[in-house]
C-alpha cells in the first residue's frame, strides 16, 4: 500500500473556497496586526482570477478585498461550484445550468443604476459613484428558493438602507421597486416569444423590509466580484424571503407610494405572493414548503433539512409582520 503523507495541491484542488478560506485567515491575522498598528500588504492584492468571466474592474476588486469579514453560520457553506452552476436567472434560460453556460453575454461593466420616484435626489449613477463611500461587508446567509432547495452563501455587500438614505426618500415612499436590465442582446431569453415572464424582471419590498439591516445589495460572492450568473454587478439579497425576491442585475430602484407589481405575483398570484416570506406552514399549491434540499446533495445523501419560519431570521424580522395573517399575505 502506498501512503501519501504530503502532496502539493493540483490546480483543480485550488478552489475558490480554498482561496476564500485562505483570505479569511489573512483577514483575521490582519485584524490582529492592524490592532498593533501594522498593515499586511497581502490585503491589497485581490486575486485577478474570475472563473466565470472577465475580471471585474480593479476599483471593485479592491473594494471587495477590503470587505469586513462576516459571522459564520453553524451550517457549512455551499461550495462555489454549486453556488455558481445551479442558478435561476431566467433571462438566460430555464435550466439550472443555463445561467453559468450562457450569461457571458452580460456586460456588467460599466453599469448604471437609476434611483427614481419618491426621493428628493433622484438620478442615474455609475456603479462606481454609487458605491463611493460605501463600506462593504461579508454576509453569510441561507438562500431558500421557493422550489424547496437551499444554499448557504458568503455574499459581499452593504445594507440597502445605507444607499436609500442618501437619496432622501420622501414621506410618500412606502415601497421600493427593483428592475433588472432589459436588453435582448445581453439577455437572450428576453427574445423568446414563449417566455412567461414579462420583462424586465421586477421585484418589490415594503419600505420597512427594504430598510431592515439584514436586507443587502450584493456586489460579491465568495470574496470576489459577482459572477454574471449570480446577478452581476449588483443584486438584492433578502435572506428571510424566497429566493425570487432577491432580484439580479439591477438597473433601477424606484421609491413608490403604491405597492409595485412584481414579476412572479403577476404570473401566478395564487402561487407567489408579494411578501414571499419563507414559511414552512404555508405550502405552495403544488408542493410542501415544510422541508428543503440543502445543496450539494446526491441520491445517497439527499440532505433534506426542515424549513424554518422566515428562513431562520424570525428573531430579527418577525416583528415586521406582527398582526398580519401570513396565510393570506404569503
Binding site for Mo ion (CB under 5 A): 88, 145, 243-244
Q: x/- string (CB under 6 A) for ligand MTE, residues 6-45?
A: ----------------------------------------
Rounded CA separation 180/144 (Å):
20
Rounded CA separation 134/159 (Å):
9
* DSSP annotation of 182: -
Q: Is 88 in the site for ligand MTE (CB under 6 A)?
A: yes
Give yes or no for a contact between 294 and 309, defined as CB atoms under 8 angstroms apart: no
Rounded CA separation 313/60 (Å):
29
- Dihedral class, residue 280 (left if φ above 0, else alpha if ψ from -120 to 50, else beta): alpha
Q: Is 180 in the site for ligand MTE (CB under 6 A)?
A: yes
The stretch among 40-48, 82-90, 300-308, 317-325 that binds ligand MTE (CB under 6 A) is 82-90
* DSSP annotation of 264: H
Q: x/- string (CB under 6 A) for ligand MTE, residues 225-244?
A: -----xx-----------xx
Rounded CA separation 20/48 (Å):
13
Select from 77, 143, 173, 238 the one that contacts ligand MTE (CB under 6 A): 143
The stretch among 51-59, 69-77, 83-91, 161-169 that binds ligand MTE (CB under 6 A) is 83-91
Footprint on residues 270-309 left by ligand MTE (CB under 6 A): none
Which residue is closest to ligand MTE by CB?
243
Half-sphere exposure (Cβ direction) of 236: Cα atoms closer than 13 Å: 32
Select from 248, 254, 272, 292 the one that contacts ligand MTE (CB under 6 A): 248
Rounded CA separation 328/330 (Å):
6
- Pull the grid cell for residue 234: 449588483
Give the nearer residue to ligand MTE in terms of CB position, either 130 or 232: 232
Of Mo ion, ligand MTE, none, which one does residue 211 interact with (CB within 5 to 8 Å by kind)?
none
**φ, ψ (nearest 5 deg) of residue 161:** -60, -35
- For the bound state, the minimum distance from the C-beta of residue 146 to Mo ion, rounded and expressed in Å, comes to 5
Give Cα 57 distance to the centre of its chain.
Answer: 20
Give the nearer residue to ligand MTE in terms of CB position, either 30 or 84: 84
Q: Looking up cell 415612499, which residue turns up?
A: 173
- For the bound state, the minimum distance from the C-beta of residue 68 to ligand MTE, rounded and expressed in Å, comes to 22
Kindly list the residues in this chain that would bind ligand MTE in the complex (CB under 6 A): 87-91, 143, 145, 180, 201, 230-231, 243-244, 246-249
Amino acid at each position: 500500500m502506498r501512503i501519501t503523507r504530503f502532496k502539493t495541491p493540483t490546480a483543480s484542488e485550488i478552489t475558490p473556497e480554498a482561496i476564500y478560506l485562505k483570505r479569511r485567515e489573512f483577514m483575521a491575522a490582519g485584524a490582529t496586526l492592524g490592532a498593533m498598528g501594522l498593515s499586511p500588504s497581502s490585503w491589497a492584492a485581490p486575486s485577478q482570477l474570475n472563473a466565470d468571466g472577465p475580471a471585474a474592474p480593479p476599483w471593485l476588486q479592491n473594494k471587495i478585498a477590503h470587505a469586513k469579514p462576516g459571522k459564520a453560520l453553524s451550517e457549512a457553506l455551499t461550495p462555489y461550484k454549486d453556488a455558481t452552476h445551479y442558478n435561476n436567472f431566467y433571462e438566460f434560460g430555464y435550466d439550472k445550468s443555463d445561467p453559468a453556460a450562457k450569461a457571458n453575454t452580460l456586460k456588467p461593466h460599466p453599469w448604471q443604476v437609476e434611483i427614481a420616484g419618491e426621493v428628493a435626489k433622484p438620478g442615474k449613477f455609475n456603479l462606481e459613484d454609487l458605491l463611493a463611500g460605501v463600506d462593504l461587508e461579508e454576509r453569510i446567509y441561507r438562500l431558500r428558493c421557493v422550489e424547496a432547495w437551499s444554499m448557504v452563501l458568503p455574499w459581499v455587500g452593504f445594507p440597502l438602507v445605507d444607499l436609500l438614505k442618501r437619496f432622501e426618500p420622501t414621506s410618500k415612499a412606502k415601497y421600493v421597486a427593483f428592475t433588472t436590465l432589459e436588453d435582448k442582446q445581453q439577455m437572450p431569453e428576453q427574445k423568446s416569444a414563449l417566455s412567461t415572464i414579462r420583462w424586465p424582471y421586477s421585484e418589490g419590498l415594503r419600505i420597512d423590509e427594504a430598510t431592515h439591516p439584514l436586507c443587502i445589495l450584493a456586489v460579491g460572492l465568495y470574496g470576489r466580484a459577482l459572477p454574471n450568473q449570480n446577478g452581476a454587478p449588483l443584486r438584492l439579497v433578502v435572506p428571510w424571503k424566497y429566493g425570487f425576491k432577491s432580484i439580479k442585475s439591477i438597473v433601477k430602484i424606484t421609491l413608490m407610494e403604491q405597492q409595485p407589481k412584481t414579476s412572479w405575483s403577476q404570473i401566478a398570484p395564487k402561487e407567489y405572493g408579494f411578501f414571499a416570506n419563507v414559511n414552512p406552514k404555508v405550502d405552495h399549491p403544488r408542493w410542501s414548503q415544510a422541508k428543503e434540499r440543502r445543496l450539494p446533495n446526491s441520491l445517497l445523501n439527499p440532505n433534506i433539512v426542515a424549513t424554518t419560519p422566515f428562513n431562520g431570521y424570525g428573531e430579527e424580522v418577525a416583528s415586521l409582520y406582527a398582526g398580519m395573517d401570513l396565510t393570506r399575505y404569503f
